[in-house]
Amino acid sequence: MKRRSLKVVAAVALAIGLTGGIAYYMTRPCCPVSDFVSQRDRKEMLKIFYDDWYWLFPGSDYSPEYILDTKSPGKEAYQAQYRGKLQIKVLRKDGKLAGFTTYYKKNFYEGQIQFVAVSPAFRRKGYGQMLTVCAVKGLFAMGCKKASLLTRLNNEKARRIYERLGFKETSRDDDGFIYYSVTPKDFKG
């Protein structure tokens, strides 16, 4: 009887420990990324936005200034519901902006990664993957069951990163974009 009680207690303790460990893993800081600080980060972020417009925006009707000022994914009427909810994270190395990511909770179960951008001087060092992992973990910590993003079909480097992290292609469109998503079960970050 005592032996069975000890086994039950041990099993419960293990379950609690595993749950706590998983919760810690999903919410711990994922990389040396910090919150966007307008006065410090804005100018460098805008430079990346404008230098890499083709890779970051699907069209010409976006305003990076509006996105940063309102913490909103854009000006479209349907995006008003996300105003103030866009998470903007930056990665700084040696006092310079190495890159940034933005993401938001799109609905009850799905999060959207809007941007993953790395400054040209910091590319090929793993920062794009680091920022993507940070965004995915941030969305999962917010309760999302799926993280989605889109990239250009010809953006081979980004596509390799996403696929290596467990993202699966969900669709393609006629404008040259590929859509990806990942669930906590498939995420390899």
Backbone angles phi, psi at 16, to 5 degrees: -65, -45
pLDDT at 2: 55
Write out pLDDT tens, residues 114-127: 999 999 999 999 99
Q: Which helix (H) or strand (E) holds 10?
A: helix 2-27
pLDDT at 14: 43
d(CA 16, CA 24) in angstroms, rounded, equals 12
> Per CATH, the architecture of 32-182 is what?
3-Layer(aba) Sandwich (3.40)
Nearest to 131 by CA among 31, 24, 26: 31
Residue extents of the structural domains in the chain = 1-30, 32-182
pLDDT at 29 over 50: no
Beta bridge partner(s), residue 116: 101
Looking at per-residue confidence, does 2 or 36 come out higher?
36
Question: Is-above-0.75 flag for pTM?
Answer: yes
